[in-house]
């Protein structure tokens, strides 16, 4: 997971200011606020809405021949800033 990589690059997870549990809690809060439980197309709609309103938000999806979600990737401003900081 990316949090482990970031923690190693910064000298340990305490340097991050958050840990794996914080990440899972935040994802759970996001899911509780935005998912209505229908299907993966809800996720695509949510991310497309973010793309329209946030300059640094990026997402991409892979669907199979049955139009089922196979994989997805997203990046927001904070993720981009963290990556830029580590790449220096």
What is the DSSP code string of 14-60? GGTT--HHHHHHHHHHHHHHH--SS-HHHHHHHHHHHHHH-TT-EEE
In this structure, are 19 and 53 located in the same domain?
Answer: no
In this structure, are 80 and 46 located in the same domain?
Answer: yes
1 pLDDT more than 90: no
In this structure, are 18 and 48 located in the same domain?
Answer: no
In this structure, are 42 and 82 located in the same domain?
Answer: yes
Distance CA 58, CA 76 (A): 6
| Average predicted confidence (pLDDT) for the chain | 74
In this structure, are 52 and 73 located in the same domain?
Answer: yes
In this structure, what token pair is assigned to residue 61?
């999806």
Q: Which of 1-5, 27-31, 46-50 has the lowest mean pLDDT?
A: 1-5
pLDDT in tens, 46-68: 899 999 999 999 999 888 888 77
Burial class (CB in 10 A: 0-12, 13-18, 19+), 39: exposed
Predicted confidence at residue 49, as pLDDT, reads 92
| Domain containing residue 7 | 1-34
Number of structural domains (the chain) is 2
């Amino acid at each position: 997971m990316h949090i482990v990589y970031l923690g190693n690059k910064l000298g340990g997870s305490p340097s991050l200011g958050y840990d794996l549990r914080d990440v899972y809690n935040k994802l759970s809060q996001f899911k509780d606020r935005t998912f209505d439980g229908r299907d993966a197309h809800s996720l695509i709609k949510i991310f497309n809405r973010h793309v329209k309103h946030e300059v640094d938000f990026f997402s991409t999806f892979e669907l199979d021949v049955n139009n089922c979600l196979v994989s997805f990737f997203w990046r927001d401003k904070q993720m981009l800033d963290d990556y830029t900081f580590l790449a220096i």
